[in-house]
Amino acid sequence: MKQKINWGILSTGHIADLFAKAVLESKTGILGAVASRSPSKAESFARRHKIPMAYGSYKKLLHDPFVDVLYIATPHAFHAEWALQAARAGKHILCEKPLTLHYPAARRVIQTAKSHKVFFMEAFMYRCHPQTAKLVELIRQKTIGELKLIQASFCFDRPVDLKGRLFNRALGGGAIWDVGCYPVSLARLLAGAALGKPFAEPLEVKGLGVVGAQSGVDEFALASLKFPNGILAELSCANRVRRPVGVSLFGSKGWIHVPSPWHADRFNASAAKIQIYREGARPKEITLRSRQSLYSLEVDAVGSALQKGLKESPFMTWKDSLGNAQVLDAWMRAVGL
């Protein structure tokens, strides 16, 4: 693998725009090409980010010989289709979360990446930030004693737009797939840290949700997970309910609060904060600083893995993605979807 990783971006929506900026900020990546189903959108995106090649077809991007890795930023419903085609074309892949809409499709994508010997990573960008690594370290060190309860939320409120991806079932709409996947992934990560493992799978998954009368997708949902050693998780997600975003971890000797777990540098471009409360001690705040933006850290996580010849990333392994997909399936079934 050459020193700089040449990226192709598949789709031109908001998240693709953020990602293109992150590649320009990164240490390992350069922008090589972009594709949209609309030639004019591809050309406009390319001009905005100074990308040398613009394609009005996703398939043309797959066959660009100069592109090393593809960032798949389509609506959720199309992740599996283009991840499979990218793997068969021999392209390395960073695919936006959720990997797919169902566990069998996720398994098929990863099996295809493995058989074609390409790198694959599900794009949970928060996993690449030092804040997440510090949380794992604090739990492993039993800073708050034995972990008992994980509370995690990712909620926001948007007007119903039946054509937009958030509320259109054909595009993979709904809160669980869009943002519920974050609390699930972090709960599994931290329960694993408490058990001395990279991640843990729940013994039980129970869920409730409200399905929109117009949209037909879950607009607010809750999940309860039970892990080994009696660790419980309370998770919430919404696209129609405003609720404070955050993570709180309760242990036998104190608790931890993370105000911004998913976008660690949202409130301060260079800092993330972890608040620690222990019995008999003054509250402590840990400030973590990064010279890079959140998404550029993700770009370099992929770049580093490719330069080392890895096919999966330690930040989000294939087994981790498959475990997440199984829990999301269980949550969706519990909601009735």
Q: Does residue 319 belong to any structural domain of this protein? A: no
Give the phi and the psi of residue 281 in degrees, each rounded to 5: -130, 155
Residue partners of 167: CB distance under 8 A and separation at least 6: 160, 161, 173, 212, 214, 215, 217, 219, 239
Confidence of residue 1 (pLDDT cuts 50, 70, 90): very low
Q: Does residue 158 belong to any structural domain of this protein? A: yes
pLDDT of residue 121: 98
Q: Based on the fold, state whether residues 105 and 137 are members of the same structural domain.
A: no
Q: Does residue 115 belong to any structural domain of this protein? A: yes
> Where does 91-167 have alpha helices with state H?
103-115, 130-140
Q: Does residue 318 belong to any structural domain of this protein? A: no
Q: Based on the fold, state whether residues 184 and 243 are members of the same structural domain.
A: yes
Q: Residue 47 is part of a domain; what is its CATH number?
A: 3.40.50.720
Query: Does the pTM exceed 0.85?
Result: yes
Q: Does residue 137 belong to any structural domain of this protein? A: yes
Q: Based on the fold, state whether residues 136 and 271 are members of the same structural domain.
A: yes
Task: Encode 11-43: b = buried (16+ Cβ within 10 Å), e = exposed.
Answer: bbbebbeebbbbbeebebbbbbbbbbeeeebbb
Number of domain units in the chain? 2
Q: Is 253 a catalytic residue?
A: no
Using one digit for the tens of pLDDT, what is the confidence trace for 3-59?
Answer: 799 999 999 999 999 999 999 999 999 999 999 999 999 999 999 999 999 999 999
pLDDT of residue 240: 96
pLDDT value at 148 more than 90:
yes
Q: Based on the fold, state whether residues 132 and 76 are members of the same structural domain.
A: no
The domain of 227 spans 127-293+324-335
Q: Based on the fold, state whether residues 145 and 270 are members of the same structural domain.
A: yes
pLDDT of residue 270: 59
Residue partners of 107: CB distance under 8 A and separation at least 6: 322, 325
What would the 3-class secondary structure string for 237-252 be?
EECECCCCCEEEEEEC
Q: Based on the fold, state whether residues 78 and 37 are members of the same structural domain.
A: yes
Q: Based on the fold, state whether residues 117 and 137 are members of the same structural domain.
A: no
pLDDT of residue 117: 98
Q: Based on the fold, state whether residues 215 and 276 are members of the same structural domain.
A: yes
Burial grade of 283 (CB within 10 A; 0-12, 13-18, 19 or more): exposed
SS3 category, 197: coil
Using one digit for the tens of pLDDT, what is the confidence trace for 252-303?
Answer: 999 999 999 999 876 555 578 999 999 889 999 999 988 899 999 999 999 9
Q: Based on the fold, state whether residues 50 and 138 are members of the same structural domain.
A: no
pLDDT value at 208 more than 60:
yes
Q: Based on the fold, state whether residues 106 and 27 are members of the same structural domain.
A: yes
Using one digit for the tens of pLDDT, what is the confidence trace for 310-325?
Answer: 999 999 999 999 999 9
Looking at 60, 97, 114, 311, which residue is catalytic? 97
**Percent residues over pLDDT 90 in the chain:** 94
Instruction: Give the strand pairing for 29-35 and 284-289.
Output: unpaired
E strand map for 228-312? 231-238, 246-251, 254-258, 271-278, 284-289
pLDDT value at 61 more than 50:
yes
Residue pointed to by tokens 């843990």: 200
pLDDT average, residue stretch 128-142 = 97
Q: Does residue 266 belong to any structural domain of this protein? A: yes
Q: Does residue 166 belong to any structural domain of this protein? A: yes
Burial grade of 294 (CB within 10 A; 0-12, 13-18, 19 or more): buried
Q: Does residue 120 belong to any structural domain of this protein? A: yes
Say how far apart CA 51 and CA 7 lie, in whole Å: 10
Nearest 5°: the CA angle 139, 225, 334 is 155
Q: Residue 161 is part of a domain; what is its CATH number?
A: 3.30.360.10
Q: Chain-wide mean pLDDT for the chain?
A: 96
Q: Based on the fold, state whether residues 207 and 151 are members of the same structural domain.
A: yes
Residue partners of 33: CB distance under 8 A and separation at least 6: 8, 9, 51, 52, 53, 54, 55, 61, 64, 66, 67
pLDDT value at 102 more than 80:
yes
Q: Based on the fold, state whether residues 285 and 254 are members of the same structural domain.
A: yes
